[in-house]
Amino acid sequence: MATETQTPVIVLVRPQLGENIGKSARAMLNFGLAELRLVAPRDGWPNPSAGPAAAGADVVLQRAQVYGTTGEAVADCAHVYATTVRKRGVTKPVMTPEEAARSVPLQAGRSAFLFGPERSGLESEDVALARSIVTAPINPEFGSLNLAQAVILIAYELSKHRELSMPTVEEVLPPAPQEQLEGLIQHFETLLEPKRYFHPEGRREMTRRNLRSVLTKPGWNHLEVRTLRGVLSHLDKPLREDG
């Protein structure tokens, strides 16, 4: 399990809107990241607009640290990744988010991911601090991710290499016992018999086998069998006129 000093840091460089800071915090916490660093936020910090946008990720906002420069924000980080779609004349290795995330747990020292301001992205001076550039494959006709989208893209890739639990999913129930399935089949046959479903008589057995094959193939669990039998029982009731 990753220690706090091994967990990547998210650095928002000169973010403009409090709402985007809050949404970025929400994206971070969804994927187990809690250390947010802000470089010279335009509207200062704390920002009252960030809290509602964080939708409960208050711990990220409360722990957020503010720095005057990008260099100060990453001073304790050995591996700095600049997220940008433009190279800005800086020659550095270019990685996809997946490649960058894969490299993080293999390296000693802290890693930081830089995200630029909403309007202009990272400046060349910010990118120059990074060891690598991270660029996602994106539509060349429309390469416009908002700040929180960019953060969640990186955070998701990082989560693949960390010990996070999957969200609670519905319990997968085993197939119903054969006795319950036989009861369902018999229920169908009982209701279909008076409707002459199994006629002509010469095809009765083949029709019954086909029906059985259809009803046994899905592997119904006991709740599904009970639901189907409830439907059949309801269909078998005489129609009651209201009033």
| From the candidate CATH numbers 3.30.70.640, 3.40.1280.10, 3.30.1360.70, 3.30.70.2740, the one assigned to the domain spanning 9-159 | 3.40.1280.10
**Residue 175 per-residue DSSP state:** B
CA distances 182 to 211, 212, 225, Å, are 12, 9, 10
Mean pLDDT score across all residues of the chain: 89
* Domain boundaries, given as residue ranges, for the chain: 9-159, 178-236
| Cross-strand pairs, 82 | 114, 133
pLDDT tens digits, residue range 31-66?
999 999 999 999 999 999 999 999 999 999 999 999
CA distance 155 to 218: 38
Residue 166 predicted with pLDDT over 60? no
pLDDT of 243 reads 47
Using alpha carbons only, how large is the chain's radius of gyration in Å?
29
pTM of the model: 0.68
pLDDT of 179 reads 92
Which uninterrupted H or E stretch holds 63? helix 58-63
pLDDT of 1 reads 44
CA distances 222 to 26, 116, 186, 210, Å, are 39, 54, 16, 22
Tokens 């592997």 sit at which residue? 219
pLDDT tens digits, residue range 114-160?
999 988 889 989 999 999 999 988 887 887 788 999 999 999 999 98
Q: Mention every residue, 6+ apart, whose C-beta is less than 8 A from residue 24.
A: 10, 12, 15, 36, 115, 147, 148, 151
pLDDT tens digits, residue range 91-109?
788 999 999 999 999 998 9
Residue 180 predicted with pLDDT over 90? yes
Residue 4 predicted with pLDDT over 60? no
| Mean pLDDT computed over 213-225 | 89
- In three-state secondary structure terms, 242 is coil
Of the pLDDT bands very low, low, confident and very high (cuts 50, 70, 90), residue 170 is low
**Residue 203 per-residue DSSP state:** G
CA distances 69 to 34, 88, 103, 204, 208, Å, are 21, 19, 26, 83, 77
CA distance 9 to 109: 11
Nearest Cα residue to 112 out of 60, 37, 59, 42? 37
CA distances 8 to 36, 63, 99, 107, 157, Å, are 10, 15, 15, 11, 12
What does residue 230 show for φ and ψ, rounded to 5 degrees?
A: -65, -40
What does residue 92 show for φ and ψ, rounded to 5 degrees?
A: -145, 160
pLDDT tens digits, residue range 67-89?
999 999 999 999 999 998 765 56
- Evaluate whether 35 touches 10 at the Cβ level (below 8 Å): yes
Q: Count Cβ atoms within 10 A of the Cβ of residue 112 and give its class: 0-12 exposed, 13-18 middle, 19 or more buried.
A: buried
Nearest Cα residue to 147 out of 6, 14, 5, 44? 14
Q: Which of 15-29, 67-81, 197-211 has the lowest mean pLDDT?
A: 197-211
